[in-house]
């Protein structure tokens, strides 16, 4: 157990629907990162939050949004889902984005859009 908890582990939904992925960071970690993993693109950075505030944005679609709550857990909302959104979504956390520490990844949520 890495200490980063992601739920649900698997999600199957239809095109056009909306889903919410949840992430609880490792205890003490203030930064949360969301990555999308697909077979051909590898790990693509989506968005980062630090202590409740958005810190950096990557290749995140406008149909996607995220937030980090006061208890530091984060949610990634995906709407108007398309077949191409099917992927593994990983959450990672770190103590402080400014320090040279590694990220701790959760086990991911596998999203299948049918």
Could you tell me if residue 45 is left (phi over 0), alpha (psi between -120 and 50 degrees) or otherwise beta?
A: beta
Spatial separation of the C-alpha atoms in residues 5 and 91, rounded to whole Å: 8
| Tokens 């398309």 sit on residue | 82
Give 17's Cβ-side CA count (13 Å radius). 13
Q: For another protein, which residue of 17, 58, 77, 112 counts as binding (CB under 8 A)? A: 58
Binding segment for another protein among 13-21, 66-74, 76-84, 103-111 (CB under 8 A)? Answer: 103-111
Map residues 13-42 to x or -, x wherever contact with another protein holds by CB under 8 A: --------------------x-x----xxx
Which residues bind to another protein, rule: CB under 8 A? 2, 4, 33, 35, 40-45, 48, 56, 58, 90, 92, 97-100, 102-108
């Amino acid at each position: 157990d890495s200490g980063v908890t992601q739920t649900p582990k698997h999600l199957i939904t239809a095109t056009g629907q909306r889903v919410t992925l949840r992430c609880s960071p490792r205890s003490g970690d203030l930064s949360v990162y969301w990555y999308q993993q697909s077979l051909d693109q590898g790990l693509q950075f989506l968005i980062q939050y630090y202590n409740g505030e958005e810190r950096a944005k990557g290749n995140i679609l406008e149909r996607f949004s995220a937030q980090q709550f006061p208890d530091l857990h984060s949610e990634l909302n995906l709407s108007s889902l398309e077949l191409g959104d099917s992927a593994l979504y990983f959450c990672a956390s770190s103590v402080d984005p400014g320090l040279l520490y590694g990220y701790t990844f959760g086990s991911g949520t596998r999203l299948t859009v049918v």
